[in-house]
Every structure is written in C-alpha cells, then in structure tokens.
Amino acid sequence: MPQAMNRQIVLKGRPVGPPRPGDFELVETAIPTPGAGEVLRRTIYLSLDPYMRGRMNEGRSYAASVELGQVMVGGTVSEVVESNNPAFQQGDLVVGYDGWRAYAVSSGSGTRTLDPGEAPISTALGVLGMPGMTAYVGLLDIGQPKPGETVVVSAAAGAVGSAVGQLARLKGCRAVGVAGSRAKCDYVTGELGFDACVDYKTQDLHAALKAACPKGIDVYFDNVGGAVLAAVLRLINPNARIPLCGLISQYNATEMPAGPNLAPLLVNRAMVRGFIVSDHADRMRDFLTDCSRWVREGKLKYREDIVEGLESAPRALIGLLEGRNFGKLLVRVGEDPTRR
C-alpha cells in the first residue's frame, strides 16, 4: 500500500542562479504518528510561490532559510486523517503550512478549517489565501487607490497580480496589467476585465505603458522590479504610491543588479514601500469577508495552474521563477475529496 510511506522533498543544494532539479531531493520516510494533542494530515494541494526562492538562500531575509536536508516550506491544503486534538475531526479540510510532503503531523496551530461549500478548497492557497491577501493589503492599505486613479500591476496573470487588478477595478480605478505573453494579456483584459495589459516581452515597455496609462500612473503594485519598475517610474504622477511586493526579476540573480534612478520619487513626492503580508494578519477577517463575497459574486475571478504529483514541484517552481505558469501554481499532492 503506497500510502505506507511518506514522500517529502528536501533542499539538497543551495542554487547559484536559477534553481536546478538537482537542488531538490525526494526522500521517503515513515508516515509520522501524531502525539497527544496532534493531528496527522494528508496533503492535497501544495502552493508554489516566488518567495520560496529566497528561502533556498543562506542568510538573512524576512524569514529563515530552509536548511540543507530540511523539507521545503510551503502552504498546503490538507485532510485530517487522524486527530488527537479535539479541535479537529478526521476528514476535516484545513489550510496550513506543512511544506513539500505528502503527510505531516501538526499541533493544529496556524491552521484554519475550510468549508468546501463556500469555495473550492484550493482557493485557500490562492485568491482566498496568502496571495489574495497580499493583493488586498498591498493594494488597499499600502497603495490606497482612489476612484479614477490608474493602477498598474506586474505579473498581472499571476496569483497576486490578477487579484490586484480586479480589486483596483472594484475600487473604481483604471487597471493596467503587465504580463509576459499575448495569451496572458488577453486573459487579463478579456477574462479579468483589466482596462489594458502590456506584454513586456514584445512591446516597447515605456511606449506601451504610456499608451495604456494616458493619465499617468498613480499606484504601481510591483511584483517584479527590474525594467518594468524603471519604466513605470518614468510615468508616475505626483503622490504616486508603489507597494513593493516582489522583485521576481532578480530572485535568481547571482549579484544584486542596480535599481532604477529614484529622481521621479523626489519630483513627484512619491513613495515606495516594501511590505510582507504576514505583518498584516489583523486584516485577515476583512480580507476573507470582502474577497469571499466578491468571488461568490463573480467579481473576483481566478485561474489555477495545477501540476500533478509532489515529484513535479521542483520543475514547477523553476518554471514559476521564469514566468512559465499561467494562474495560481499548485501541486496536487494527493486526491481532492471534494472533486471525487
């Protein structure tokens, strides 16, 4: 019976530049036994997110590195298979942070139980999970968009970016995406309702952004840094706000590239502010209330890019850092009982 062993992916080497499959290793161990107060849970979905690249490095970032030989970290949706904790029943579906493995034992802290009748359970890792909350906090709290303003977001077809643009529209703003293919741009404007989308790979970025933002840029939600950020800075309006959410373009860099010239910040009294969603846990309830409703009402759409099997996770993460996913990237680690 194959479930008799636990499958886990550990960090085997620290990448220099882009991660390679050999930086990961699939190891099999015994399925752990839950102790007093603990639960055993079976992973259904593993979330893959750009921040994971930083965890593969040694040294200080905003969270601890994964040590060599340790299981890679990550958000998960799981089914409780055995519970010694009165707060959880066998069969409960939960969202937690079990990492790249098929089974995990947990105390249950940091776990939220999901109601599959409310939304597909996989959304707890996407539009109704950390990426959605990142969009919500970063755009609304840091970006402070006002009706009629122009909001630009990079990685616009991704889990965070797709929510940012739709939230901007809901707040009465012009939403402009930047994405890496014609197909992604078509999805962003056609399906998600952004007002415009710039394909940074085939268009003159400055000219295309200028055409897409005839009134300049008031909020730029940055997921990528690099050339897009530099092009945006040339078009910002007075009092522009730039929530700095990610710098994907340089996560695989072996030395830190120079950044954009900051003179436009001075001239325009503009602000760049880095933020980390985990600092804003006090907004969780507002986020879930608002975004669950918008998802139900069809005002906040999402797309999932699901790869099959834990063993696919390394290549999928490598692809994510190259922009090869299309929508929220998930790994189906085990059977989803709600889709039986």
178 contacts 147 by C-beta, under 8 angstroms: no
Closer residue to a second copy (CB): 126 or 226: 226
Q: Does 271 bind a second copy (CB under 8 A)?
A: yes
Identity at 78, one-letter amino acid code = S
Instruction: Quickly tell me which residue has 């399925």 as its tokens.
Output: 31
Residue 154 contacts residue 221 (beta carbons within 8 Å): yes
Using the rule CB under 8 A, which residue among 74, 246, 327, 334 binds a second copy?
Answer: 246
**Residue whose entry in the numeric block shows the structure tokens 């009134």:** 215
Q: How far is the CB of 224 from a second copy (least distance, A)?
A: 11
Whole-angstrom Cα distance, residue 141 to residue 272?
A: 13
How do strand 39-47 and strand 328-332 relate by DSSP bridges? antiparallel
Q: What six digits make up the tokens of 104?
A: 């995990």
Which DSSP string do the residues of 25-89 spell out, in sequence order? Answer: EEEEEEPP---TT-EEEEEEEEE--TTHHHHTSSS-SSSPPPPTTSBPP--EEEEEEEE-STT--
Q: Compose the 1-40 pattern: x for residues touching a second copy by CB under 8 A, - for all others.
A: ----------------------------------------
Least CB distance from residue 248 to a second copy, whole Å? Answer: 11
Residue of the chain from 275, 283, 286, 306 that contacts a second copy (CB under 8 A):
275
**Residue of 263, 322, 337, 339 interacting with a second copy (CB under 8 A):** 263
Site string for a second copy, 187-226 (x = CB under 8 A): --------------------------------------x-
Show the binding pattern over residues 118-137: x = contacts a second copy (CB under 8 A), - = does not.
Answer: --------------------
SS3 143: helix
**Bridge partner residues of 27 (DSSP):** 8
What residues numbered 56-85 form the site for a second copy, per CB under 8 A?
Answer: 60-62
Of 17, 214, 256, 298, which one interacts with a second copy (CB under 8 A)?
256
Among 39, 164, 270, 320, the residue binding a second copy under the rule CB under 8 A is 270
Is residue 159 at the binding interface for a second copy, with CB under 8 A as the rule?
no
Return the half-sphere exposure (C-beta side, CA atoms, 13 A cut-off) of residue 71. 19
| Residue 279 near a second copy by CB under 8 A | yes
Q: Which residues bind a second copy (CB under 8 A)?
A: 60-62, 225, 229, 238, 244-247, 250, 256-263, 265-276, 279
